[in-house]
Amino acid sequence: MFESKNKKEMVDEMTTQAKETTEQDNLHDNQPAPDESAEAETAATADAPPEAPPADNNGEDNTWRDRYTRLMADFDNYRKRQIREREEFVKRANEALISELLPVVDNLELALSAATIIDDPFVTGVRIVAEQFTAALAKAGVTPIDATGLPFSHDLHEALGQIPSETVPAGDVAIQLRKGWLIADRLLRPAQVMVSSGPLADEAQPDAATPETPSPAERDTCETE
């Protein structure tokens, strides 16, 4: 009895499993097939290159790029201008210092020109100091202006007057009173000079062929006679 009951339960279980399998197959068959066109569109979209950004974005990027370029150019010009101004400031400071030292060189040269005993040890010492000063100025790019015998130049010379000269042509420097100086081809101090006016003109001699005009007293004497 029990054996027949077990067989019946097994048959019912197998029948139930068969029904479930059939229902699952029918459900799978009734599902709609995927859209092939949608898959193709998705694949094409994935392979396509990215779209360019809108035109407005490109214009804004170019604007900022131009601003950056101009800013960098302005900064570079500012940096170069600062370098030039600093170099010019140093040059001006050196010129001011050297200008204060030039009278010392002038006095040393005046002392040497007034010396009567050339072999005197004191004169020799002054000459050595003057040469050292001149050498130090040369290292700084300072060179003297020797104007004697040269044509007068308003750019290099300062005329204090004119003197006649039998040897120096008119318009040339006859005497240099104070030496001038240049620094890097730029005038530091003009040379003070006296300019030649040429030889003295001969005094006019009376012409022998021209009769002298009598004075009023002589005319009166002649009329009385």
188-200 pLDDT tens trace: 999 999 999 988 8
pLDDT at 152 (0 to 100): 94
The answer on 157 and 102 residing in a single domain is no
Query: Which of 140, 155, 176 marks a domain boundary?
Result: 140
Whether residues 72 and 135 share a domain: the answer is yes
Domain final position from 123, 140, 157: 140
On the CB side of 12, how many CA atoms lie within 13 Å of its CA? 6
pLDDT at 36 > cutoff 70: no
Is residue 149 domain-shared with residue 194, that is, in the same domain? yes
**Percentage of residues in the chain with pLDDT exceeding 90?**
30
Q: Is residue 10 part of a domain?
A: no
Mean pLDDT value across residues 76-82: 90
Q: Which domain holds residue 150?
A: 143-198
Residue 44 lies in a domain: no
> Which pLDDT tens digit goes with each residue over 22-31?
555 554 455 5
Q: Give the tens place of pLDDT for each residue, 116-149.
A: 787 888 889 999 999 999 999 999 889 999 898 8
Pair 181, 136 in one domain: no
pLDDT digits (tens, 9 = 90+) for 52-78: 445 555 667 788 888 888 888 888 898
- Residues 80 and 129 grouped into a single domain: yes
Same domain, 85 and 125: yes
Q: Does residue 133 sit in the same domain as residue 149?
A: no
Tally of domains in the chain: 2
Are 125 and 105 in a shared domain?
yes
Residue-wise DSSP of 57-104? HHHHHHHHHHHHHHHHHHHHHHHHHHHHHHHHHHHHHHHHHHHHHHHH
Which residues, other chains included, contact 32 with Cβ-Cβ below 8 Å and sequence gap of 6+? none
The answer to whether residue 73 is domain-embedded is: yes
CATH number of domain containing 148: 2.30.22.10
Which of 90, 105, 196, 115 is CA-nearest to residue 145? Answer: 105
Give the pLDDT score at 205.
47
153 and 103 in a common domain: no
CB atoms within 10 A of CB 38: 9
Decide: pTM greater than 0.85.
Answer: no
6 part of a folded domain: no
Say whether both 108 and 174 belong to one domain: no
Is 212 among the domain residues? no
Spatial CA neighbour of 161 closest among 205, 204, 185, 195: 195
Q: Is residue 115 part of a domain?
A: yes
Q: Give domain status of residue 26, yes or no.
A: no
| Residue 215 pLDDT | 54
**Do residues 156 and 135 both lie within one domain?**
no
**Residue from 124, 133, 126, 125 nearest 102 by CA:** 133
Q: Which of 54, 51, 35 is nearest to 43 (CA)?
A: 35
pLDDT of residue 53: 47
- H-run or E-run covering 178: strand 173-178
Maximum Cα–Cα distance across the chain: 214
Query: What pairing do the DSSP bridges indicate for beta strands 142-145 and 173-178?
Result: unpaired
Same domain, 106 and 171: no
- Residue 80 maps to a domain: yes
In the predicted model, what is the mean pLDDT of the chain? 75
pLDDT score of 35 more than 60? no
pLDDT of 181 > 90? The answer is yes
> Last residue of a domain, which of 121, 140, 159?
140
